[in-house]
Structure 1
């Protein structure tokens, strides 16, 4: 009996680690890597990436009506001047922190859907986000819109992946839920201990069946880390795929993982990423611009990377928040919970430009913008145009699609 066999037996038999290794080998990342090798997504298949801006992003300081005197009057300390914003035309401009997305606009691959909300908007973060994620404004339900899509399209959890800290309601169906895969789920010990652990995955003649299974799990785990680890381990300073630099924000880390999965042909059709901090009741201008700069860097970097590959050119990214903010600034150089806001849709297959009517800043509903576009029509467009599904099966009858996609 050699030293390696003895150490393996002691490790696998007496420490109780066999069960732990088997569990680690069965985590979602391993399953995803296995399916990527055996059942890759066919080239040319549409992929949807949702980016949730939690907290109620101020749409009026994101897509800025800087040329409107009513905007300047309502926000004397928060308003951007016309020369500060990135001009989109029609008196609107992107926040100064969004230069990357301005380049997408100029390239015709960014659409701005204006005035997006739902009938009788709710000012509660929790209720409004629940409405956006379940797509049922009229009454609470226990399923999300992507979860219902999963229910009707094979009931495969790996078709929808969340990079969020927890599984969002959007991905929960009646019979199927998407997979919640943590960014740190594939970090392995390095150095001498890591080398010794990897060696335990080697074959050994004559060992009992359970030990052989556990050993193979170690090998599978290391193979998974080799496949997806550089993107998933967001804390590393090492370059990622294609010499990419390490992610500079949590959202960038999430989108790095999505990019790696898309490029490898992972079987997932929907990815959910998110960033928080947009509840700007005070000191809004500097806080929001910092956050939007991070979002812009993460999203524009992701879009540039996707535009360089055949699989990536079939990716559509949709960024939204649970509501906008009120038109008038409050006394703390911030804004309070409002209603409508813009939804950004981007990708190589997106038909760039404005979609929907810009809400009036003078014809208000008790200080709030009057919505002009129902968010369920944005979803209907994603379901039919990106996921190739009947929107009525997910959203019910009566929804319309929007001119957001060029292909």
Structure 2
């Protein structure tokens, strides 16, 4: 699929929401690659999602929020997953889940609105753009699992090359432990539903799933059992064409910024560049100077 075909297929979706419309169908083209963008709205706590079990500072910074060691799902001797993400282990063991650590943007903005602008337009933090980095179809379903089901159907029926779905509620300033566990459980259940359906329809090999979020959260817990707005966080890329494993630098808990945010070691636009490489389209000007991550099999 060339760039013109891609834009003809998805151009109608820029800034549009409300489900997949009949005019959005790619009747004239065979869409040979698909992308599912998964928004973790509110700012996901990456540190309790992908847990640095080998760093004693983790428990020192989070005396009540740290996940108990015997509940963490180990990926290696240094890193583990939150127990609610257990369903993802099938994709991890199948080497179809890449976990990219330290993702964010320089001079990380703590505003939800501005941070979403930066992610959506792939802009520099001092730059204001009104375009999106990639056209997409948005799906507003009854639940996250239902959104994943709709996304799988849309891809299998070649209705869209790029689909965006969202899971809300990650702004966990207080009483985070149970809320975050429930959200991660929904995320894992939905993504595994998506994977199973796309495997069954023989579309998993051509699909890339990629998470987005406003920002990470503070490494230090606050006084009301939550975390505040932070900077870098880990993100997931998953698909039949993904070289699974841990990518990027482990979180440096001894080098927090003035707001207790984790340092950024990988610019978020490298994820965008990777998505464009997967789709086989030229990246927009805001992304073209960033190299794709070498985690795609072909």
Q: Above 0.5 in TM-score?
A: yes
What's 2:201 paired with?
309
What's 1:370 paired with?
263
What's 2:273 paired with?
380
Give me the whole-angstrom Cα distance separating, in 1, the residues matched to 2:242 and 2:20.
31
Indicate the SS of the match to 2:75.
Answer: strand
The residue correspondences of 1:130-145 to structure 2 (distance < 5 A) are 130-137=117-124, 138-145=126-133
Higher Rg: 1
Indicate the SS of the match to 2:21.
Answer: helix
2:122 and 2:269 in contact (8 A); partners too: yes
Indicate the SS of the match to 2:293.
Answer: coil
Report Cα offsets for 1:25-51 as digits up to 9, x if no partner: xx962324xx45x43525xx1100000
What's 1:162 paired with?
138
Find out whether 1:70 has 2:57 as its counterpart.
yes
What's 2:224 paired with?
332
Aligned residues: 278
Give me the whole-angstrom Cα distance separating, in 2, the residues matched to 1:395 and 1:101.
32
The residue correspondences of 1:30-49 to structure 2 (distance < 5 A) are 30-32=22-24, 35=25, 38-39=27-28, 41-42=30-31, 45-49=32-36
What's 1:226 paired with?
none
The residue correspondences of 1:177-196 to structure 2 (distance < 5 A) are 183=141
Find out whether 1:92 has 2:79 as its counterpart.
yes
1:262 and 1:312 in contact (8 A); partners too: no
Report Cα offsets for 1:143-185 as digits up to 9, x if no partner: 01014xxxxxxxxxxxx31114xxxxxxxxxxxxxxxxxx4xx
Structure 1 or 2: more helix by fraction: 1
What's 2:94 paired with?
107
Report Cα offsets for 1:77-123 as digits up to 9, x if no partner: 00012221111114111111011112211110000000000111001
Q: Unaligned 5+ residue runs, structure 2?
A: 1-18
Give me the whole-angstrom Cα distance separating, in 1, the residues matched to 2:59 and 2:76.
18
Q: Unaligned 5+ residue runs, structure 1?
A: 1-26, 148-159, 165-182, 184-233, 235-249
What's 1:260 paired with?
153
What's 2:289 paired with?
398
Find out whether 1:117 has 2:104 as its counterpart.
yes
Q: 66, 70, 79: which one pairs with 1:83?
A: 70
TM-score when scaled to structure 2? Answer: 0.89
Measured on the aligned residues, the alpha-carbon RMSD in Å equals 1.6
Give me the whole-angstrom Cα distance separating, in 2, the residues matched to 1:284 and 1:352.
29
1:77 and 1:333 in contact (8 A); partners too: yes
Q: 235, 240, 252: which one pairs with 1:360?
A: 252
Q: 1:300 to 1:357 in 2, by over 3 A?
A: same
What's 1:224 paired with?
none
TM-score when scaled to structure 1? Answer: 0.66
What's 2:179 paired with?
287
